[in-house]
A and B are shown apart, each in its own frame.
Chain A
Amino acid sequence: VTSTPSPGSPLVVASDADVIARVVAGDTDAFRIIVDRYGSRAARYATRMLGDRAEAEEAVQDTFVRAYRALGRCADRDRFGHWLFSILINRCRTAGARSGRRARTFVRDETALVAAAAPDAFDGVAWREEIAHALARLDVSQREAFLLKHVEQLSYDEMAVVTGAGISALKMRVKRATDQLRTLLHEAYSA
């Protein structure tokens, strides 16, 4: 979760710390840079975690607003991404707990349906829906650990920072999530 520009990029990208300094100094509009920089990634995590696009967008919006209001308390601005993600994770936990009893079907991602023009579209959509189903059946902490590890591609050290959990507990959650997904998706994967 960093803002390092890609190698060879001709543009000089302002670091998170620089942008935050501008915002704190009163340049409120500079916060848009943060929203643009982290919006998609936050939306992806929240959508995968909550399984509902509208709920995910609400969580992301709330996360950015909370981050703005607490910017002064962000101790390490160079690791702003981690800090923002820890807010998002907490927000998703709260949202998940609130709607935990609600029956969940699957993520009906509009972009996924638009992509159905490809020859193997049916198989692709079906596989995606199977994954969404299986993911929704995981325990919240296991789903969280699996997404952070394999989708957001954080190291266990980084996961420990953003979740507040111990590394061994996180490894256990990821393993259990993987095992359960393997069981749930065995048929679909083999096909």
Chain B
Amino acid sequence: VPERDEAPDPFVEAIAEELRAAVSLRSSVGERVMTIVRADARRRRRWEIAGRMLAAAVVVIAAVVGGIMVRARLYAPDTSVGTLVRFVLPASTAAAARQVVVVGDFNHWDTHATPLRRTAKGIWQATVRLTPGAHVYSFVVDGSRWVPDPSAPVAPGSDFGSPNSLVTVAPGAT
């Protein structure tokens, strides 16, 4: 089909007509193509299956590892677990005190760790989270005077020196 700006050329048409004669593709060529194509498709499908299996394995491994990590977290010691215990020193016991702290096994008897705060009514108090079990403690007034908690039992082994007090936190308490 000549372009619009071209006149048909009889010579060219004579040649082209011969060359346009059909050349049939032997069926064996088509069969060979389809054999290769099908083999390709099978190979591709195998890779896809392998890929899906690999992805599934990754998911399973991730789930197992995740489960282990979750379990590890569940059974790990949690420092946030414990019972809030309020230590109170009545105003009558430390009326003229300038500073009161509570020391005990829970803060390694550190006189700076847990200062008490004085309320408007003159009561000294502080709240500490304690793990279950028995804890021995004492108040220290103005940095030098050890005062047992008048509302708590005396701790065993307090026969000599300044007596300490005892607080017991029940297991499972929050």
Interface flags, B5-24, vs A, CB<8A=1, else 0: 00001011011101111111
**In the complex with contacts A43-B23, A48-B19, A151-B20, A178-B33 CB distance below 8 A:** no
Whether a CB of chain B sits under 8 angstroms from the CB of A81 is no
Instruction: Report the interface size class on chain B.
Output: 20 to 34
In the bound complex, residues from chain B placing their C-beta under 8 Å from that of A26 are 41
A35 to B34, CA, bound (A): 9
* B122 → chain A closest CB, angstroms: 84
Instruction: Report the interface size class on chain A.
Output: 35 or more
**In the complex with contacts A29-B34, A61-B32, A111-B24 CB distance below 8 A:** yes
In the complex, the answer to whether A43 meets B24 with C-beta atoms within 8 Å is yes
Interface flags, A30-74, vs B, CB<8A=1, else 0: 011001100110111001100000001100110011001100000
In the bound complex, residues from chain B placing their C-beta under 8 Å from that of A56 are 23
Contact segment of A10-18, A94-102, A181-189: A181-189
In the complex, the answer to whether B34 meets A31 with C-beta atoms within 8 Å is yes
Dominant SS at the B interface? helix
Residue in B1, B11, B21, B25 whose CB lies within 8 Å of A42: B25
A181 to B19, CA, bound (A): 13
**In the complex with contacts A40-B24, A156-B3, A189-B11, A28-B16 CB distance below 8 A:** no
**A residues engaging B (CB < 8 A)?**
26, 28-29, 31-32, 35-36, 39-40, 42-44, 47-48, 56-57, 60-61, 64-65, 68-69, 109, 111-112, 127-128, 131, 135, 147, 150-151, 153, 155-156, 178, 181-182, 185, 189
